[in-house]
Amino acid sequence: MQKDYCTLKTENNYYAYNFINQTFKIITFATYKIVNYIQEREIKEESLSYRTLNSISAFQEFSIEELNTAIREIESITTHIATHKKKLRFVEYQEFSKEDVLNSLANTKQVVLELTRECNLSCFYCCFGNLYSYKRDYCKKSSCGNSLSFLKKILELKMSKPRYYVSNELYITFFGGEPLCAFTAIEEIVQEVAKIVGDRFAIRYLMTTNGVLLGKYIKFLVANNFKISVSMDGNADHHAYRVFPNGKESFEIIENNLIQIKQEYPDFFQNNIDFISVLHNRSSYIEILDYFKQFGKVPTFTPLSTNNIKLSKKKEFPNFTYKGIKQEEISAIERKYPEYYKGYFNTQELIRPYCSTPHRNILGLFSKTQDIYPGKSCLLFSKRVFVTNSGLLFPCEKTDREYCFGKINEKGIAIYTKRINQCYKEISTNYSQNCNNCYRNRMCDECYFLNKTKIITKRCQKSITDIIIDIEDAVTKNEITI
């Protein structure tokens, strides 16, 4: 039988964690001891009283006040458990219609356009590089034809069918390869969208770039208020895996571009440019923070992808991964970057994965059903739509390529409604069959489109022991008072 909550202790504190509503709080030693006692003996919490507890020899060391406090804390921990339990019901699948899919497309927040798979760098850990099994298998040549066709259809849905329309803002992201290798296509798309939209919509342009061509095209990017994420791993040593095809390092060129932009367009640099740093075996968290301090920035950190590693590279892959941040680094970050430390290394942040409920109402876009499924899988195009250079449509740029939901053709957009329904039926079936006994099913962050095998084989599942170990590890790194 699954427990609804558990206790754990560290050197300084005692804690209670509720699996059902994901609450986490400090408790007294008396509460800790009583909970363990009653759970071992399967005693119901509602039967507790001062009289019954005081009659047990194990609790006679506690005062009346301590026992009454423990009773109140246990009531607080267990409040609403029954209600929350009733709310968790795995989805009974219902079909999406073509109208549902169009509704989702019209309401999408972001369109991600893959203009090219070409790149001017040959990064060691690129998903199309030597470590992974992905292939640059279609349409290397940059083109804006499919992208423009799709954008026109999305804008047509928003403008001609008001029942779909929920926002006057749309984010358009240019993706690659290196998107600036397809600058002519970017320029044409921006110009054409401006003609179509006028002042009826707020179009926001975003781009992730390796930074090599930023200096060349910065005037256009500034003029059109692009939001730019630069992939840069830190100083020259951290950045050494990002090289040109001839093996020459790219660091100096990119750094010079950034220094120039900061000098010539200080406001744009401050407001529109941020950084992404991949963590690998050369990385040092504190040194990366030190490097970006000159730009007044803190990067977003991301690990090496562990998906689709070549079989021949699986043994050596761990040699290139980040070995984890050490306690002395965390202490140094607390001293040198206290605001960053408060945001990312306090215990509340460390236990956040266990105190969130990313439940999804699978038909929430289209009905009032309360059926949900756990996990991070997007519902149709509710967050974004990814358009490949060859005109294929996916829920996200990270989605496995078996989950193609449509294609742009000479007649417009072909929606693969049958395939979509097969996919979501598969998702709901697998969650229902595999996730009921997992202690993380209420705060699951696994994406089915990305980690299907992991979910089906239950490799992602967590036992009560796993959860306790994870939370203990988080709180012992930085004891707090809640």
Q: Other CB atoms closer than 10 Å to residue 47's CB: what's the count? A: 8
Model pLDDT for residues 274-290, shown as the tens digit of each residue: 999 999 999 999 999 99
> What is the distance between the alpha carbons of residues 340 and 331, in angstroms, rounded to a whole number?
12
Model pLDDT for residues 399-450, shown as the tens digit of each residue: 888 889 999 888 888 999 999 999 888 888 887 777 777 767 766 777 888 8
Model pLDDT for residues 165-215, shown as the tens digit of each residue: 566 789 999 988 899 999 999 999 999 999 988 877 889 999 999 999 999
Asked whether the predicted pLDDT for residue 381 surpasses 70, the reply is: yes
3-state SS, residue 24: strand
Q: Nearest CA to 17 among 442, 478, 447?
A: 442
> What is the distance between the alpha carbons of residues 147 and 121, in angstroms, rounded to a whole number?
24
Helix axes 64-78, 29-40, angle to 10 degrees: 60
Q: Other CB atoms closer than 10 Å to residue 342's CB: what's the count? A: 12
CA angle 255, 260, 265 (to 5 degrees): 130
Asked whether the predicted pLDDT for residue 358 surpasses 50, the reply is: no
Kindly write down the DSSP assignment for every residue of 342-405, as one continuous string. HHHTSHHHHTGGGS----EETTTTT-----EE-SS---TTSSEEEE-TT-EEES-TTS-TT---
Q: Are 168 and 200 in contact (CB under 8 A)?
A: yes
> What is the distance between the alpha carbons of residues 451 and 339, in angstroms, rounded to a whole number?
34
> What is the distance between the alpha carbons of residues 459 and 456, in angstroms, rounded to a whole number?
8
Q: Nearest CA to 110 among 171, 155, 201?
A: 171
The band of 164, judged by pLDDT with boundaries at 50, 70 and 90, is low
Over the range 70-96, which residues count as b (16 or more CB within 10 Å of their CB) and which as e?
bbebbeebbeebeebeeeeebbebbeb
pTM, rounded to two decimals: 0.79
Burial of 215 (0-12, 13-18, 19+ CB in 10 A): middle
- Residue 403 makes CB contacts below 8 A (sequence gap 6+) with 394, 395, 423, 449
Q: Nearest CA to 354 among 477, 476, 462?
A: 462
Q: Are 139 and 389 in contact (CB under 8 A)?
A: yes
Q: Nearest CA to 65 among 54, 78, 52?
A: 54
The band of 350, judged by pLDDT with boundaries at 50, 70 and 90, is low
Kindly write down the DSSP assignment for every residue of 261-281, as one continuous string. HHHH-HHHHHHHEEEEEEEBT
> What is the distance between the alpha carbons of residues 393 and 411, in angstroms, rounded to a whole number?
15
Distances 287 to 362, 411, 433 between C-alpha atoms, Å: 43, 53, 46
Distances 421 to 153, 205, 361, 387, 477 between C-alpha atoms, Å: 22, 32, 16, 20, 45
| Bridge partner residues of 394 (DSSP) | 386
Kindly write down the DSSP assignment for every residue of 140-153, as one continuous string. -S--SHHHHHHHHH
Asked whether the predicted pLDDT for residue 473 surpasses 80, the reply is: no
* pLDDT score recorded for residue 351: 56
| Chain Cα centroid distance, residue 467 | 20
Model pLDDT for residues 34-81, shown as the tens digit of each residue: 988 988 888 888 788 888 888 888 888 889 899 989 888 888 887 756
* pLDDT score recorded for residue 243: 94
Residue count of the chain, please give it: 482
Across the beta sheet with 384-387, the strand order is 300-303, 273-279, 227-231, 202-209, 169-175, 110-114, 384-387, 392-394, 406-409, 412-415
Please report, to the nearest 10 degrees, the dihedral formed by the alpha carbons of residues 77, 83, 85, 90 taken in order.
-150
Asked whether the predicted pLDDT for residue 362 surpasses 60, the reply is: no
E-assigned strands of 95-157? Answer: 110-114
Model pLDDT for residues 302-326, shown as the tens digit of each residue: 988 887 888 899 889 989 998 877 7
Q: Nearest CA to 344 among 394, 403, 300, 410?
A: 300
* pLDDT score recorded for residue 459: 77
Give the tokens for residue 320.
Answer: 């290139």
Model pLDDT for residues 97-120, shown as the tens digit of each residue: 888 888 888 888 899 999 888 899
Token pair 């992991």 is at which residue? 454
Phi, psi of 443 (to 5 degrees): -135, 35
Over the range 403-427, which residues count as b (16 or more CB within 10 Å of their CB) and which as e?
bbbbbbeeeebebbbeebbebbeeb
Over the range 230-261, which residues count as b (16 or more CB within 10 Å of their CB) and which as e?
bbbbbbeebbbbbbeeeeeebbebbbebbeeb
